[in-house]
Amino acid sequence: MAKLHVELVSPEREIWAGEADMVVAKTIEGEMGIMPGHAPVLGLLVDGSVVRIKPADESETISAMVSGGFFSVASDEVSVLAEYAELGGEIDLDAARAEYERVSGLEGEEAAVAQRRARARLRAAGQEV
């Protein structure tokens, strides 16, 4: 069976790369699930969303918080080019919860972005809010 070749990168580093059965990402057009054989697509990632990757080796699903960027699919190659990304397993839960509490009461456009990012960090780490 065909597999996807996936690369999740930010300007600082390669976050994750490998073979996968499925990738789910939220673009400004909506959430997209990508499997082998998917039609080519290019989209803008939602700032403060979570990308999920189901590795082909059947290991645990990879979750990463992303802050903006692009998502492209062509010929079973998936590129997630995030402005900032953080793997769920690398997130300090205590610090993420504290940041979520700190920004929860704020108002305004910048506060809304900070709240989305804080929620995404917790969701990527496996904590629903």
Confidence bin at 21 (pLDDT 50/70/90) = very high
Is 37 strand, coil or helix? coil
Q: What is the pLDDT of residue 1?
A: 76
- Which tens digit of pLDDT belongs to each residue from 82-121? 999 999 999 999 999 999 999 998 999 999 999 999 999 9
CA distance 23 to 7: 11
Distances in Å between the alpha carbon of 123 and those of 24, 62, 65, 103?
14, 12, 8, 16
Q: What is the pLDDT of residue 25?
A: 97
CA distance 115 to 105: 9
N- to C-terminal Cα distance for the chain?
A: 36
Confidence bin at 128 (pLDDT 50/70/90) = confident
Q: Which residues pair with 14 in a beta bridge?
A: 9
Residue spans of the domains in the chain: they are: 4-87, 91-124
**Right CATH number for 4-87 from 2.60.15.10, 3.40.50.11540, 2.60.40.2480, 3.40.50.720?**
2.60.15.10
| For residue 17, pLDDT beyond 90 | yes
